């Protein structure tokens, strides 16, 4: 069962369709009531049980007595010069997380968090400094989408819809796989969820390889954060993740993963000056992923205060990308989004830390 709130009420946002059907059955209600409740939350954005007006007053009262909708609260929005917006979000127990909205041409991607803090200790990441405070519930994961969409609707005359989700915010999604899976199921359900295409959802992992299959089975995209061309390098940059699964084992797991037809993995590679950004690194990387259906996102490091790492210069970045491309690896250079508000990759956690 999903967790109860502090006042011991069930959070309806944490129930999948199957969970809601069981809940509805347990109340002695007709099965169709499950879809009614889900549609109120995900398609009409209702935040309170009493607004579900196609339930009888008696049923609404009963539902309100035993359950609630733990709608997250946006406490601050920091706007970047490039249009990116970072949302500081408070959860029902007072914990805070960060969520980033990245508008690009015809897309509006929401980068959402899956944990308060993170259990891993990637050395280039600000979130790691928080440590793991707790996992998010399924409701708190999908709730980030709902409250940001609500914010967009309140602040725009012709509000656009969020189109894509990347689970690359605070936390390691695969260390919280149950709630992540439930939230994704509600995101992609057409009739009573958000109706997002699974292809528009990407889950990023630091390499918890035994959970890869759980993500692939949902039909969503899997991104694996490699960041190193040798095991020694990865040990230095991502010690906890590499202890869970060494670089050779991680690559072997990626190679043997059964992907659906015409789908491919994304490898993420954060470029750190003088650490993993040499031409030899690029050649080794190309060799080690050869034959895996994949693309590579090269992410020049977004500098954070107090970090020992710096961003490579432009020529080094372009040469790294060029070496991969010349070896027939589809390679994209990730533009930094929102670095001036610490909203870019690896920069989340500064505001949340002040709230803990």
d(CA 121, CA 111): 20
| 160-219: contacts with ligand SF4 (CB under 6 A) | 170-172, 206
Q: Which region, judged by CB under 6 A, interacts with ligand SF4, from 31-39, 116-124, 244-252, 297-305?
A: 116-124
Q: In the complex with ligand SF4, which residue's Cβ is closer, 15 or 237? A: 237
Q: Which region, judged by CB under 6 A, interacts with ligand SF4, from 64-72, 88-96, 118-126, 147-155?
A: 118-126
Q: In the complex with ligand SF4, which residue's Cβ is closer, 3 or 239? A: 239
| End-to-end Cα spacing for the chain | 27
Q: How far is the CB of 116 from ligand SF4 (least distance, A)?
A: 11
Q: How many Cβ atoms sit within 10 Å of the Cβ of residue 126?
A: 23
120 near ligand SF4 (CB under 6 A): yes
CB 343 within 8 A of CB 88: no
Rg for the chain, CA atoms, rounded: 21
CB 45 within 8 A of CB 149: yes
d(CA 16, CA 21): 8
d(CA 305, CA 199): 35
Q: How far is the CB of 183 from ligand SF4 (least distance, A)?
A: 17
Q: Where are the alpha helices (DSSP H) in 210-262?
A: 212-217, 231-237, 239-244, 247-256
| 336-355: contacts with ligand SF4 (CB under 6 A) | 346
Reference 247, options 263, 227, 261; nearest CA is 227
- Say whether 21 is catalytic: no
Q: Quick one: which of 5, 70, 127, 176 contacts ligand SF4 (CB under 6 A)? A: 127
CB 114 within 8 A of CB 101: no
Q: Quick one: which of 128, 136, 183, 282 contacts ligand SF4 (CB under 6 A)? A: 128
d(CA 257, CA 261): 12
- Say whether 232 is catalytic: no
DSSP letter (8 states) at residue 49: G
Contacts with ligand SF4: how many residues (CB under 6 A)? Answer: 11
125 near ligand SF4 (CB under 6 A): yes
Q: Which region, judged by CB under 6 A, interacts with ligand SF4, from 6-14, 121-129, 187-195, 292-300?
A: 121-129
| 271-310: contacts with ligand SF4 (CB under 6 A) | none
Give me 179's structure tokens: 């709630």
* Active-site residue, from 118, 122, 192, 345: 345
* Active-site residue, from 50, 98, 150, 153: 98
122 near ligand SF4 (CB under 6 A): yes
d(CA 301, CA 303): 6
Q: How far is the CB of 284 from ligand SF4 (least distance, A)?
A: 21
Binding site for ligand SF4 (CB under 6 A): 118, 120, 122, 125, 127-128, 170-172, 206, 346
Catalytic residues: 98, 345
């Amino acid at each position: 069962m999903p967790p109860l709130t502090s006042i011991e009420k069930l959070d309806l946002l944490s129930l999948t369709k199957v969970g809601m059907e069981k809940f509805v059955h347990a109340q002695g209600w007709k099965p169709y009531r499950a879809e009614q409740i889900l549609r109120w939350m995900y398609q009409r954005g209702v935040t309170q049980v009493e607004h579900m007006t196609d339930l009888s007053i008696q049923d609404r009262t009963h539902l309100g007595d035993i359950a609630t909708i733990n709608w997250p609260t946006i406490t601050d929005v920091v706007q970047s010069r490039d249009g990116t917006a970072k949302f500081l979000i408070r959860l029902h127990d007072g914990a805070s997380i960060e969520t980033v909205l990245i508008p690009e041409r015809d897309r509006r991607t929401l980068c959402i968090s899956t944990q308060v803090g993170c259990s891993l200790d990637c050395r280039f990441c600000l979130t790691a400094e928080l440590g793991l405070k707790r996992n998010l519930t399924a409701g708190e994961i999908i709730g980030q989408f709902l409250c940001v969409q609500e914010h967009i609707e309140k602040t725009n005359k012709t509000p656009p819809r969020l189109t894509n989700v990347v689970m690359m915010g605070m936390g390691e999604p695969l260390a919280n796989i149950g709630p992540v899976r439930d939230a994704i199921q509600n995101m992609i359900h057409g009739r009573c969820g958000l109706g997002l295409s699974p292809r528009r959802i990407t889950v990023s992992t630091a390499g918890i390889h035994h959970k890869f299959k759980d993500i692939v089975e949902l039909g969503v995209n899997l991104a694996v954060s490699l960041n190193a061309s040798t095991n020694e390098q990865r040990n230095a940059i991502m010690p906890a993740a590499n202890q869970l699964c060494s670089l050779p084992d991680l690559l072997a797991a990626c190679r043997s993963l059964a992907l659906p037809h015409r789908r491919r993995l994304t490898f993420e590679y954060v470029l750190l000056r003088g650490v993993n950004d040499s031409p030899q690194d690029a050649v080794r990387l190309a060799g080690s992923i050869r034959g895996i259906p994949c693309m590579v996102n090269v992410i020049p490091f977004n500098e954070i205060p107090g970090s020992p790492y710096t961003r490579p210069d432009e020529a080094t970045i372009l040469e790294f990308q060029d070496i991969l491309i010349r070896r027939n690896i589809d390679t994209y250079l990730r533009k930094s989004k929102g670095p001036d508000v610490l909203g870019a990759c690896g920069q989340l956690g500064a505001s949340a830390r002040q709230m803990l």
